[in-house]
């Protein structure tokens, strides 16, 4: 699986660092692994479902944690959602994290005709979910756009419910199918590959989520590795549908193996 690689897509939370209220903690060896990838000449793109901050703030946080990355190296759901909204003339009601709202500054939000859902964290109150429900149920053709469908993620103080759980609640209540912008959507991985500038058969995705990272990437024709960090659980290795091309203990180990085959 390590041969004929020209570019790497990396998940962020759970691969580079574990997020938390304290800003997060880098996973051992991950910052050096990113440096080694860049020094090797391999192309690098961060492919993240991060929806609690703008890409600019997100990159600032990563740089403060010791990662040499730029905004151009981040593929994230909010900019993709903004393109979709403008293309289709959609005006969103936003149920997202407060820190993500600036990403939607150029989007018309008057008289909403859709709901956009992100990882709103503390904004996932009953009142806010009910407001989104009422808007959707009142639409002739309800449109629910979700910035990912993850079930949970890991922070330094433990596992946290992710946007997918709330997406499923609104789908059930409104009898609507959400449109997912973010992993594991094929279009999202295709966007990341286009920004990476590498065809899928020459790229490897490295993530901690067996379904969103590994399964999504493999559906696009990429090889995909699961790290045993972040949200990884031993039960992932018996997943009935998704089988990674390999398991690695962490990003540093994956990079060691890939660089040996260049």
CA dist 11 and 211 (Å) reads 12
Could you report the per-residue pLDDT of 172-211, keeping only the tens digit for each? 999 999 999 999 999 999 999 999 999 999 999 999 999 9
Residue 212 resides in a domain: yes
Q: For the chain, what's the residue count?
A: 262
CA 253 to chain centre: 22
Residue 70 resides in a domain: no
Q: What is the pLDDT of residue 210?
A: 97
Could you report the per-residue pLDDT of 79-91, keeping only the tens digit for each? 999 999 999 999 9
Mean pLDDT, to the nearest integer, of 120-141?
A: 97
Residue 56 resides in a domain: no
How many folded domains does the chain comprise? 2
Same domain, 232 and 211: yes
Same domain, 193 and 109: no
Same domain, 160 and 232: no
Half-sphere exposure of residue 69: CA atoms within 13 angstroms, side-chain side: 33
Q: What is the pLDDT of residue 223?
A: 98
Same domain, 160 and 105: yes
Same domain, 123 and 157: yes
What domain range is 135 assigned to?
87-180
Burial 85-97 (b: 16+ CB within 10 A, else e): beeeebebbbbbb
Q: What is the pLDDT of residue 20?
A: 81
Same domain, 36 and 103: no
Residue 79 resides in a domain: no
Domain stops at, among 159, 180, 201: 180
Domain stops at, among 180, 209, 225: 180
Tell me the CATH number at 137: 3.40.50.1000
Residue 141 resides in a domain: yes
């Amino acid at each position: 699986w390590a041969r004929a690689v020209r570019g790497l897509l990396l998940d962020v939370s759970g691969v580079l660092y574990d997020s938390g209220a304290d800003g997060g903690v880098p996973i051992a060896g991950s910052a050096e692994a990113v440096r080694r990838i860049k020094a090797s000449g391999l192309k690098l793109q961060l492919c993240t479902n991060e929806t609690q901050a703008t890409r600019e703030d997100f990159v600032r946080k990563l740089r403060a944690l010791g990662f040499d990355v730029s905004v151009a190296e981040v593929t994230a759901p909010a900019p993709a959602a903004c393109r979709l909204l403008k293309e289709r003339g959609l005006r969103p009601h936003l149920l997202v994290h407060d820190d993500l709202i600036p990403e939607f500054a150029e989007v018309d939000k008057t008289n909403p005709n859709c709901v956009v859902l992100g990882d709103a964290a503390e904004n996932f109150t009953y009142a806010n979910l009910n407001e989104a429900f009422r808007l959707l149920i009142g639409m002739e053709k309800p449109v629910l756009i979700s910035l990912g469908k993850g079930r949970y993620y890991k922070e330094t103080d433990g596992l946290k419910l992710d946007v997918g759980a709330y997406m499923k609640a609104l789908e059930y209540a409104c009898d609507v199918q959400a449109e997912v912008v973010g992993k594991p959507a094929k279009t999202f991985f295709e966007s990341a590959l286009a920004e990476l500038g590498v065809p899928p058969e020459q790229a490897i995705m490295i993530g901690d989520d067996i379904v969103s990272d590994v399964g999504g990437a493999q559906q696009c024709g990429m090889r995909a590795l699961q790290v045993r960090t972040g949200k990884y659980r031993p039960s992932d290795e018996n997943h009935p549908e998704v089988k990674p091309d390999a398991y690695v203990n962490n990003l540093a180990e994956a990079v060691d193996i890939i660089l040996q085959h260049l």
